[in-house]
Amino acid sequence: MHQLKKFLEYKAYQMRVSSLLMTTAAGSGHPTSALSAADIMSALFFYTMQYDPKNPDNPNNDRFILSKGHASPVFYAAWKEVGILTEKDLLTYRTFNSVLEGHPTLRFICTEAATGSLGTGLSIGAGMGLSAKMDHRDFKTYVLLGDSEVAEGSIWEAAEISAYYKLNNVIAILDNNRLGQSTEVMHDHHPQRYAAKFEAFGWKTIIIDGHDMQEIMGALDKAKEVQDQPVIIIAKTFKGYGVDSAQDKEGFHGKAFSKDELPGILEHMKRRFSEAAYFDATSFTWTPQLPQEPKKAKTIECNEIILKTPSYKLGDKLIATRKAYGQAITAAGVACENVMSLDAEVKNSTYAEIFEAKFPERFIQCFIAEQNMVSMGVGLERRGKIPFISTFACFFTRAHDQIRMAAIGTSKLRLCGSHAGVSIGEDGPSQMALEDIALMSALPNSIVLYPSDAVSTYKLVQEMANYEQGISYLRTTRMNTPVIYEATEDFPIGGCKIVRQSNQDQALIIGAGITLHEALKAYDVLLLQGMYVAVIDLYSIKPLDAQTIIKVAQSAGKKIITVEDHYIQGGLGEAVAYAVRNTGITIECLAVTQLPRSGKPEELLQWAGIDAQAIVDKVKRFYP
């Protein structure tokens, strides 16, 4: 035991040295934030965690999430000590061709989740902990938190959900090093104040000296024994621990030491930690504690997810797309046992309640805490689950940083936002999503889908279930709409549907969701007046079928009118305008351009100039 402790101190020392070497080589980075956590990291990686270093995909590995992502040097240094990285690798830190990025990303194979925007790690950990409970696996998820980031509300959302679901397999370690980027943290060096908060939120708390290896080991042992509660170890540490000139001092955040300073610092560190520095590494053999597959462990593998053909019929009575979403994810749940539903306490509005009724054990109530819901989805998805995450579309704005980080982490999140646009009516602007297409489009590898009837909703949910390149977003409508497609119709990502076309068309109207129905009404009115227009259902806004749009427009007077229940900025119209640039096609875009208000859906569609009459008027101005 004594030798083990010395070995862990030696590993911590090595991580300190590596952290300094790599940041100085890079000329940037956060060495002092790494130094405060080195002892904790050593105990985690070489004492507590059970994992197979050679197989990061082993489903029984304990998981580690570096929520304080800027401390990446100590994270990479730990993997070097484990033998996965070399010193040469470390010296590529932050360079263009290296996978060792400034903040961890999935490009490095041992990263569990991209971090760097603070306050997301605990939610991701909660998702992983939840997946372990669902699959009867014994692995623990360790989350290293910074003390600055505990000011983020998302931490408290994660704290309350983890306690609510009694996730005793989630063990957080708070690196209370006292100093933020530019000033002292709110609670300075008072670990008991953090403890009081976490206790009030239902956590078991343990306060330790984060530089005393014996205390760290003891706390980690204790943490594993806790039942029915998540655990947080609050470690009092010093920022820059080991470098006297910087330790516990302001002004050293995010600053690499210069190549000139480094030799002196290392020399000093060798003297200060002489026992660790001169530890005989051959005197102790570390072997990883490989995890066991529990007898009850569940492994579910789904290949392509094929939904049973829906029972909707062309001309059927009205069905809201949000309701079809609930039915479709339930069908997806039948097709694959990994499919889950996450709700932010609006299940009776989004119709996630249909899924809950059928699969209560795969339905997670996240309460009104959208940030945690999204990042918890990242954690679940990383552990093989297929969560469909739904709330009012406008409330995804609450979690946009988490969605952005999920995209950076190449998460395959499936998001559904209901109650899009002014057509929700009386509830007023706070409940209307009018920017969601813009937000969800401006994410790398995302797709943005917007169905107009039950069939297309259902089929697009199937597409989402099988979309593996990034985030997929589905926009649904509050109002009931008629079924306009045969149940056998397919809706591939990146496609569109030509729903009206003749050889006399003088314009092409492009709508999606609720405005497609306005376009169809306009079509009927115009036809009675002898005016012919083509109509396209642009159910896939990103990617967008430019080829079909251009082709149809070219045989429709080279004129396009787009119409959408969304602000003009970043919406469907701008996307189409961009797609048809340089083609000589004329385009006019009908969209919401002012702050809306309460009113009847029809009044608001009219007020915004996106109803059938507005389309008719626009076509008439266009018509030769």
Reduce the secondary structure of 419-447 to three states and give it as a string. Answer: CECHHHCCCCHHHCECCHHHHHHCCCCCE
80: which DSSP letter?
A: H
CA distances from 78 to 13, 239, 348, 421 (A): 11, 18, 46, 49
Complex with its own copies: residue 165 or 241, whichever CB lies closer:
165
Reduce the secondary structure of 309-368 to three states and give it as a string. Answer: CCCCCCCCCCEEHHHHHHHHHHHHHHHCCCEEEEECCCHHHHCHHHHHHHCHHHEEECCC
**Site string (544-573) toward its own copies, x via CB under 8 A:** -----------------------xxxxx-x
Q: Does 347 bind its own copies (CB under 8 A)?
A: yes
CA dihedral 541, 544, 545, 549 (to 10 degrees): 70
Query: Applying CB under 8 A, which of residues 4, 151, 226, 334 lies at the interface with its own copies?
Result: 151
Catalytic residue check, 199: no
The nearest distance, CB 357 to its own copies, in angstroms, is 12
Query: Applying CB under 8 A, which of residues 336, 394, 455, 520 lies at the interface with its own copies?
Result: 394
Q: Any bridge partners for residue 567, and if so which?
A: 592
Beta strand extents in 190-272 (DSSP E only): 204-209, 231-236
The nearest distance, CB 59 to its own copies, in angstroms, is 26
Q: Does 603 bind its own copies (CB under 8 A)?
A: yes
Beta strand extents in 11-86 (DSSP E only): 63-66
Cβ–Cβ < 8 Å for 396, 344: no
Number of residues that bind its own copies (CB under 8 A): 109
Complex with its own copies: residue 5 or 255, whichever CB lies closer:
255
Query: Applying CB under 8 A, which of residues 514, 542, 610, 614 lies at the interface with its own copies?
Result: 542
Query: Applying CB under 8 A, which of residues 109, 136, 153, 529 lies at the interface with its own copies?
Result: 153
Complex with its own copies: residue 239 or 459, whichever CB lies closer:
239
- 59 cis-preceded (ω within 30 degrees of 0): no
Give the interface segment with its own copies, choosing from 229-237, 334-342, 364-372, 477-485 (CB under 8 A).
364-372
Complex with its own copies: residue 104 or 333, whichever CB lies closer:
104
Q: How many residues are given for the chain?
A: 624
The nearest distance, CB 235 to its own copies, in angstroms, is 19
Distance, CA of 487 to CA of 493 (rounded, Å): 17
**Site string (177-206) toward its own copies, x via CB under 8 A:** ---xxxx-xx---------xx-xxx-----
Query: Applying CB under 8 A, which of residues 95, 292, 488, 547 lies at the interface with its own copies?
Result: 95
Catalytic residue among 9, 370, 435, 564: 370
Complex with its own copies: residue 217 or 393, whichever CB lies closer:
393
Q: What H or E segment, with its residue span, contains residue 508?
A: strand 508-511
Query: Applying CB under 8 A, which of residues 88, 285, 594, 621 lies at the interface with its own copies?
Result: 594
Query: Applying CB under 8 A, which of residues 19, 32, 67, 105 lies at the interface with its own copies?
Result: 105
Strands 386-392 and 414-418: parallel
Which residues are tagged catalytic? 370
